[in-house]
Chains A and B, each alone.
Chain A
Amino acid sequence: MVELAVISCVDERENDRPGGEISHAGDTKPAEGELLEEEQVKGGLSVTMQTANHSSDPKRADKITRYKPPAQGTPGAPGEDPTTDYMNVLGMIFSMCGLMMRLKWCAWVALYCSCISFANARVNDDTKQMLSSFMLSISAVVMSYLQNPQPMTPPWSNI
């Protein structure tokens, strides 16, 4: 890991130097009138510079800051969507209900809940938890039908 410390206080006259024959590998040609402060490439990246920047180019390849995704719980974290977790828990509760009390509709609702949780999940979410909730709801449905192969009776029928 190479850390480059670039110190350059360049005034306007040095802008005319063609090609930037500077021995540090971390300088760029500053825009007219701008002073570069002491720079440090964060994270230990070694970045190769382009030396032919004309003065109106806003790119500063030596000032790259790597993306630090905000830690969980800090404000402003992108995508704080609690739907996934709620649906996970709800799905587990419903499937337990369906298994214990042999209610078919509970098991079906549990299956739907885990599907919704899957659809709303973030990419870096734990897939194991979602998968286990899925499996639990499927097993609840299957067990309900093995115990009692009667079809579900809708609540609006008086049979």
Chain B
Amino acid sequence: MPKTQEEPKITIANVPLHLRSNWDSFYLEMLMIAGLVVYFINFIVGKSKNQKLANAWFTSHKNLLEQNFALVGDDGKQVPESGGLQKESENVYTLWCSGRTNMEGMLVELKFIKRQDMIGVVSQLIRPSSDQLLVKVHLDEMDSFVFALATKKTAARLSKEMTDISTFCPEKKSADKFGFGSQYVLMNELGEVASTVLGDPKVTAVLNKFSGMVDFLHFSDQYSGPKQPEDTQPTKLPEVRRALVFGFNFPGRGNPSLEAIESMRPLLQLVFHVTDKLRRFKLSKEGKAKAEKNRSRVEEAFLKATHAARAEMAQAKREERKRMEREKMLEIDDPDKQRKWEEREQRRQMKRRAPKMKQLKTS
């Protein structure tokens, strides 16, 4: 019987695939790199489109701005050299204008759709939105009122987000009686303001003609921006400014044409008209009294709510001061002085702890 030899063990060496041998097995990587290339192309295209839109807006409004403002565009340097739009990001451009009667300054923000980001482009396809023009006018003097007029969706957002609207204008009314139908929602503190603003023929004309473009109007002397999500109670009321905020939409739902941008000039003229008008506007006596009452009510409520927090802070400060004094005393090496100060402290503590005797009036 032949001896069966043991078969030698054959081990196949584990040779890693050579990167250059078979490219087509790397199709996923190719896909990834193609995706990156597409992303960068979209970035460049979107960025240049936003820039073109911004420049188009600026050139069409430049004349109007230069007629009204001494300083159009602040570039942040010591002495402003080049006026013009400042790029905050690839889809946000700002322009600060100053040097006009009735206002401290006007900040224009061009908030475009994020055309430079692929995700922005995709979300634009899913949920189309418009490029926005936000004009914030800072007034040097204004009577006290809070007024807001907005489209339904924006109204919901504003009344939730903005501190002053949620505090002073809790109820939403429809702007029917001024002839705007159910398009706009009115949030108003004092009725006479609404009739002044919305009763003005120029304002109504613009609002009716450009109803798609006017997103919201928010006029307030207690403007402090959106509510900050804070867990702890703030110990001080937020700083308020007198501001008129106008929110406009660019026409053309994401694809504005040059003529459409030209047609936005009346919107800026509306801003100037309303500013001049509201700067001179004075509330009636009842209106002013009501406004004062509202504001003092809000302040009182705030003080009450934060009473505990403020008392704690005051106590902490007092203790801190005592500690500093004690430390200073200990540093002075004069034993006599130290003893005297300790005695004084003891007496003060005794007085505080002793029951306060009430004086009875004997009539």
Contacts and interface: CB of A to CB of B under 8 A. Distances in A.
Interface of B: 16-19, 25-29, 32, 35-36, 39-40, 43, 67-71, 74, 76, 79-80, 87-90, 92, 94, 96, 98-102, 104-105, 107, 109, 114, 116-119, 136, 138, 163, 224-228, 238-239, 272, 276
Contacts of B272: 58
Interface of A: 31, 34, 45, 58-67, 69, 74-76, 78-79, 81, 108, 111-112, 115-116, 119-124, 145, 148-154
Given A75-B163, A75-B238, A120-B89, 13 more contacts: A58-B101, A67-B98, A69-B76, A111-B32, A112-B36, A115-B36, A116-B119, A120-B90, A123-B88, A145-B19, A148-B16, A149-B19, A151-B26
26 contacts: A45-B79, A61-B99, A63-B70, A63-B98, A63-B100, A64-B98, A65-B99, A67-B76, A69-B76, A74-B239, A75-B163, A75-B224, A76-B136, A78-B92, A78-B107, A79-B88, A79-B92, A81-B89, A108-B32, A112-B36, A116-B117, A119-B90, A121-B89, A122-B88, A123-B89, A150-B16
A66 B74 contact: yes
Contacts of A79: 88-89, 92
Contacts of B116: 119
Given A116-B117, A151-B26, A76 B226 contact: yes
B99 A64 contact: yes
B238 A78 contact: no
B28 A151 contact: yes
Contact of B99 (A31, A60, A121, A151): A60
Contacts of A58: 67-68, 100-102, 272, 276
A60 B100 contact: yes
A78 B87 CA distance: 11
Contact of A59 (B70, B119, B224): B70
Contacts of A76: 136, 224-226
Contacts of B19: 145, 149
A152 B29 contact: yes
A75 B226 contact: yes
